[in-house]
């Protein structure tokens, strides 16, 4: 029984890369790819979102810097 299990395991290992590539290709054929218009729209959404979040983080950083330099680090020189 153990011998047949080893043979089966070896048979599955052989061609593992080919099997993996074949299954990967089969899965990629099932993917619904976005149209160029959808891709453009999604790209704009990502760029606008990143810009808005970046501006928010910049504003918070500048505010905290101003507050800390005015109230916490008043006696130190830069």
CA distances to 16, 27, 66 from 71, in Å: 65, 59, 9
pLDDT for 15 equals 76
Is residue 75 over pLDDT 90?
Answer: no
pTM score over 0.85: no
Q: Per residue in 9-53, pLDDT tens?
A: 555 556 789 999 999 999 999 999 999 999 999 999 999 999 999
Q: Per residue in 55-71, pLDDT tens?
A: 999 999 999 999 999 88
**How far is 8 from 12, CA to CA, in rounded Å?**
6
pLDDT for 73 equals 80
Ramachandran area for residue 60 (φ above 0: left; ψ -120 to 50: alpha; else beta): alpha
């Amino acid at each position: 029984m153990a011998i047949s299990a080893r043979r089966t395991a070896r048979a599955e290992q052989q061609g593992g890369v080919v099997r993996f590539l074949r299954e990967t290709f089969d899965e990629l054929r099932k993917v619904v790819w976005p149209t160029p218009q959808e891709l453009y729209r999604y790209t704009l959404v990502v760029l606008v979102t990143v810009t808005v979040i970046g501006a928010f983080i910049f504003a918070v950083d500048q505010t905290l810097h101003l507050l800390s330099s005015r109230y916490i680090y008043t006696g130190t020189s830069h």
